[in-house]
Amino acid sequence: MRSGLALRLSRAAALALLLILGVGAGCRHRGAAWAVPAQPVTAGVEIIVIGQPRESRATRLVAGELERVLANAAAAGRTPIIAWLGTDLGRPGPDRAHPCPDPHAVHAGPALTELTRVVHSTGAAVWGLPGPDAWRCGMTGFEARVTPTPYEQPGVAYVLRVSEAGQVALVSSCELDTCTIAPPAEDTLLELVALDFSFWHYPALASDDLTAALLSQQAALLEALAAAPAVPRLLLSPIPVESAGAHGVGGRLQRTGYRYLPEFVQQALTDGLFVGVLGALERDLQVSEDLSNAIHRSARTFVSKPIFEVVSGSAGGPKHTPRTSRGDTLLPDLETEHPGFARVIIEGERVHLRIHARRAGRWRVAGIELPLDPEPLPSLREPPTIQPCHSCDPMRGAADGEVDVPRGPRPP
């Protein structure tokens, strides 16, 4: 009898420990906007962001929901632009006969084949970047002529111009360390600036000479954009600027953060060249209204304008990150560790950020609405707390703060 009671108590203690640590897979689904379903947006230009798809059941589920979203968009008379940011090829290890898949068959599995069919089913423009895994396996895009990919990739640095009617065109041309941008068009709504920093964040992926050449080209592209007429611009990259996941500053796999970007990218963000960032890498979904506080925590730097960020890296399935292994600089306004993808809808002077996440066997949608071209931040403003605990008293230290970080509705 005592042994049975002891067994029940030990099981209860183990369950309590799991709940405290948040070890249950996919347990985090936070942010006030999840409580109220996002209202549909029937007009505007739409960008769908998928990141890190892989051969998995989650990729098949994402393909099914994406097919429904694309059908609804077609019924509303619009064709979205699809951004494919990195493919998850799995970590090389002793359990795999070959560290990397055959380059000619990397997207030939059933799940990725289905996803590829869906993204091309409505004639949508599909653009992308390889991300770290493709670099690791020698599929950087330089081999694009002999290795078909589901997306168009002119290089590791290019600019897409989107018209008010949703038409997208490649307007940049880069060769060596020189880049040019086509003259502006009167009906330009925004520009998408695609930059892949995989070789920078993971130095083993490229030689020093190749890294230097690619950085020179990316710097030349941003220099050309800075000299061009100002329009709203979004940065597309497999690597986010800041992250609340394992790759964020202070996280177990710390790699990402404003402080870790090339200096010319830091300067572009500080000067307000981008109004938003669309990234991946993390195996979760995150939406942040403004990165300015996170950038201050990361690098003690004040940016001139608000910058929103969408992290969409769970198209191939999520990966739980315990709170003790997560980044400290960013507290997203929406986040979830579930399979899904993100949508960015520009309607007039507003941008609607949407997350589609599959939770408990059904799809849920949450969203945030922001101005497309926000007002500059004040020159004099109160700095955010730089304590590891976001809610702690900055004068008395972290020990005086709340035990946990609140992630529910914000107080008025």
Q: What is the pLDDT of residues 85-142, one digit of tens each?
A: 999 987 655 455 556 777 777 788 899 999 999 999 988 999 999 999 888 887 876 6
**Other CB atoms within 10 Å distance of the CB of residue 154:** 16
Q: What is the mean pLDDT of residues 339-353?
A: 94
Domain ranges of the chain: 29-371
pLDDT tens digits along 162-197: 999 999 999 999 988 899 999 989 999 999 999 999
204 in Cβ contact with 232 (< 8 Å): no
Of 103 and 145, the structure prediction assigns the larger pLDDT to: 103
Would the pLDDT of 74 be above 70? yes
In eight-state DSSP terms, residue 96 is S
Stronger pLDDT, 366 or 33, i.e. the higher one:
366
pLDDT of 345 higher than 90: yes
What is the number of other CB atoms lying within 10 angstroms of the CB of residue 30? 18
Task: Give the mean pLDDT of 25-38.
Answer: 61
Overall average pLDDT of the 213-217 stretch? 94
SS3 74: helix
What pLDDT does residue 26 have? 41
**CATH classification for the domain delimited by 29-371, as one of 3.60.10.10, 3.60.21.10, 3.30.450.40, 3.40.50.1000:** 3.60.21.10
Average pLDDT of the segment spanning 329-352: 93
Alpha helix segments (H runs only) across 176-285: 198-201, 208-227, 263-270
Q: Answer yes or no: is pLDDT of 404 > 60.
A: no
Give percent above pLDDT 90 in the chain: 60
Is the confidence at residue 147, as pLDDT, over 50?
Answer: yes
| CB-count burial class (<10 Å; 0-12, 13-18, 19+) for 98 | exposed
Residue 16 confidence (pLDDT) above 60:
no
The larger pLDDT score, comparing residue 383 to residue 149, is at: 149
> What is the end-to-end Cα distance of the chain in Å, rounded?
53
* pLDDT greater than 50 at residue 267: yes
Average pLDDT, the chain: 85
Over range 302-321, report the average pLDDT. Answer: 94
- Long-range CB contacts for residues 260-267, cutoff 8 Å, separation at least 24: 260/201, 261/197, 261/200, 262/197, 262/200, 262/215, 262/218, 262/219, 264/215, 264/218, 264/219, 264/222, 264/223, 265/195, 265/197, 265/218, 265/222, 266/299, 266/301
Residue 133, classified by CB atoms within 10 Å of its CB into exposed (0-12), middle (13-18) or buried (19+), is buried
- Contact by Cβ (8 Å): 134, 143: no
Q: What pLDDT does residue 378 have?
A: 87
Three-class DSSP category at 71 = helix
pLDDT of 411 reads 37
* 287 closest CA partner among 254, 317, 265, 310: 310
Q: What is the pTM of this model?
A: 0.86
Amino acid letter for position 373: D
Predicted pLDDT at 19: 45
pLDDT band at 24 (very low <50, low <70, confident <90, very high): very low
Residue 54 one-letter amino acid: R
Tokens representing 391 are 């809610």
pLDDT score of 109 = 87
Average pLDDT (210-222) is: 95
> What is the average per-residue pLDDT within 208-224?
95
Count CA atoms within 13 Å of residue 172 on its CB side: 29
